Amino acid sequence: MDTLSYLGQGFGVALSPYNLFTALCGTLIGTVVGLLPGLGPINGVALLIPIAFALGLPPESALILLAAVYLGCEYGGRISSILLNIPGEASAVMTTLDGYPLARQGKAGVALSISAWSSFLGGFIATCGVVIFAPLLAKWAVAFGPAEYFVLMVFAIVCLAGMAGNRPMKTAIACCIGLFLSCVGIDSNSGVYRFTFGSLGLADGIQFVVLVLGLFSVSEILVLLEHTHRGQKALEASGRMLFNLKEGAFVLATNLRSGAIGFGLGILPGAGATLASAVAYMSEKRLAHKDNQFGKGDLRGLAAPETANSASACGSMVPMLTLGVPGSGTTAVMLGALTLYNITPGPLLFQNQPDIVWGLIASLFVANVMLIVMNVPMIKVFTKILAVPYWALVPAIAIITSIGVYAVHATTFDLFLMIIIGVAGYILRKLDFPLSAILLGFILGGLMEQNLRRALSISDGSLGILFASPITWGVWTLIAAMIALPIYRTWRNNAKRAGRPAVADA
């Protein structure tokens, strides 16, 4: 009953005229940012943080704006995937597998409407999960001390590497790069300059907005310049603009299963929408009959990743709010925004500032309704926006990115640092290193250091405190399992490859 009363209080915050207008602006901006190749939820949220702070938005309104942008980007990013076969971000790759073939078959309108409906259902399922599980996890998280938080953050990094498919080592290295970058600047305890190389510009450390826009926007600009196709046009959305009841019923079971998968992986720190979309897609492909059309234009192949993406986006709010651990790269950026307002996420946030937490949760429902109402009628408009050629798109991204970085501290040093980070990010992308893992390591690095120092201070320098509670033992067990998982997967694949010739010889 307390949960329902708090949720009602949250709707009172989210449905105020000011916050409704804020959510509407956020969903519209997020949709436009998401549908333009080269941008995405991380960039959209990062660009709006200094704007929201400069406009003096109250904390609950700023979070509602950023959450609406996040969900809007998840919606909009699928439009370019379906119409142009250009995924704007990693989590949209699975959408292209069946979305683009549907568009080529003249079913662009059906594909876009199924995408919007699936995203709405995924967001609705996950937001219900947030309402149910977030308060429970917040109460359980009260038992977390500095040692438990440190071990949990180690688990988040190991979990990301362990679930990274065929590149766990590269993901682990990327996380370590992020941890190293978080150490740059003056040590808050000793006042020692660390890894500044004599530069006063690095004395305050690397700002997360500079890192985010450098890694993602600048590197994406370089990728677009590498693969520029002049005169490329969007596909026309011909035929029906909406799916019918038969098609909706055909993908309903897929929506429900994928929504549960997306939410489950979304609340897992570090997993993210990319993993959720891939797991949901492969799960539905396994469940489908042998005569399925996956990869050739199957509606279930479009609905599964779309539902999982949206559910994962909402689910990633749970660890951010209850544990202070980002569940995705975008929530890592939002976690940085909370620090600008001197808000400390965690279990006490539900007790001390319920208006902020429940207003944000209620706004997820509101933003999902706004998005489906806005997206379906505007499909034709979106296809016209996508016709913008790359020679105009690339300078626009560069201008928006530069303004976003310069607005933070009004220094040209950050602009040059962003370019350097962007070139390095481009090289890492060419080498198939996941940039989101760098961001996650960077965000968690400072928190890990603080909690480790607090834990060692409590134990007078003894590392035994990291193994002193049932929670730490449980998390260490999970860490060991996540380390063993890629090793077992590699051994199993090698065993299969070694067994095939023997079977053939027999």
Quick: pLDDT tens for 123-162: 888 888 888 877 776 566 556 678 877 887 787 777 666 5
Residue 434 located in a structural domain:
yes
d(CA 485, CA 228): 39
Residue 440 and residue 336: Cα distance in Å, rounded? 12
For residue 486, the model assigns a pLDDT of: 67
Q: Which residue has the higher pLDDT, 68 or 386?
A: 68
- H/E run at residue 371: helix 354-375
Torsion-angle region of residue 206: left (phi > 0), alpha (psi -120 to 50) or beta?
Answer: beta
Residue 352 inside a domain? The answer is: yes
- Of the candidates 85, 149, 132, the one whose C-alpha atom is nearest the C-alpha of residue 111 is 85
506 found inside a domain: no
Q: In sequence order, what DSSP letters do the residues of 318-367 get, joined into one string? A: HHHHHTS--SSHHHHHHHHHHHHTT---SHHHHHH-HHHHHHHHHHHHHH
Pairwise CA distance, residues 446 & 235, whole Å: 46
Query: How many percent of the chain have pLDDT more than 90?
Result: 0
Q: How far apart are the C-alpha atoms of 490 and 11, rounded to whole Å?
A: 49
Is the pLDDT at 231 greater than 60, yes or no? no
Asked, for residue 166, whether it belongs to a domain, the answer is yes
User: Per-residue confidence at 232, pLDDT binned at 50, 70, 90?
Assistant: very low
Q: How far apart are CA 506 and CA 498, in angstroms?
A: 14
HSE-up of 330 (CA within 13 Å, CB side)? 36
The whole-angstrom distance between residue 463's C-alpha and the CA centroid of its chain comes to 33
Lookup result for tokens 């065993």? 495
Number of domains in the chain: 1
The predicted model scores a pTM of 0.64
Q: What are the structure tokens assigned to 325, written together?
A: 């651990």
What is the dihedral sign for C-alpha 380, 385, 388, 390?
negative
Which residue, 333, 281, 370, is CA-closest to 98? 281
- What is the DSSP track for 305-320? HHHHHHHHHHHTHHHH
Quick one: average pLDDT of 259-286? Answer: 74
At position 160, the amino acid (one-letter code) is L
Kind and range of the H or E run holding 185: strand 185-186
* pLDDT class of 389 with cuts at 50, 70, 90: low
For residue 186, which phi and psi values (nearest 5 degrees)? -80, 130
| Cβ 309 vs Cβ 293: under 8 Å | no
Alpha helices in 85-237 (DSSP H): 93-104, 108-140, 146-162, 168-182, 208-212, 219-226
**Domain for residue 47, yes or no?**
yes
Q: Count of CB atoms within 10 A of residue 423's CB?
A: 14
Q: How confident is the model at residue 101 (pLDDT cuts 50, 70, 90)?
A: confident
| Inside any domain, residue 503 | no
Average pLDDT over residues 215-238: 62
Is residue 502 domain-resident? no
Ramachandran angles phi, psi of 136, nearest 5°: -65, -45
Task: Find the domain containing 215 and state its range.
Answer: 2-496
Higher pLDDT, 229 or 392: 392
- Tell me which residue of 119, 481, 131, 157 sits closest to 276, measured CA to CA: 119
pLDDT at 505 over 70: no
pLDDT band at 235 (very low <50, low <70, confident <90, very high): very low
Instruction: Specify if 441 maps to a domain.
Output: yes
Q: For residue 475, is pLDDT > 60?
A: yes
Amino acid in the structure at residue 180: F
Give kind and range of the element (H or E) at residue 395. helix 390-409
What pLDDT score was predicted for residue 336? 73
Task: Report the distance separating Cα 134 and Cα 111, nearest Å.
Answer: 33
Q: How far apart are CA 439 and CA 175, in angstroms?
A: 8
Which residue do the tokens 């709405």 mark? 120
**β-pair type (193-194, 185-186):** antiparallel
Residue-averaged pLDDT of the chain:
76
Q: What is the DSSP string of 50-71?
A: HHHHHTT--HHHHHHHHHHHHH
Burial of 246 (0-12, 13-18, 19+ CB in 10 A): exposed
**Residue 491 — very low, low, confident or very high, per pLDDT cuts 50/70/90?**
confident
Q: Has residue 237 got a pLDDT over 50? A: no
Neighbours of 284 (CB within 10 A): 25
d(CA 438, CA 473) in angstroms, rounded, equals 27
Q: What is the model's pLDDT at position 265?
A: 74
CA 505/CA 76 separation, integer angstroms? 52
Does 501 have pLDDT greater than 70? no
Among candidates 36, 43, 26, 35, which has minimal Cα distance to 436? 43
**Residue 274 pLDDT grade (very low, low, confident, very high; cuts 50, 70, 90):** low
* Angle, vertex CA 174, rays to CA 171 and CA 178, nearest 5: 140
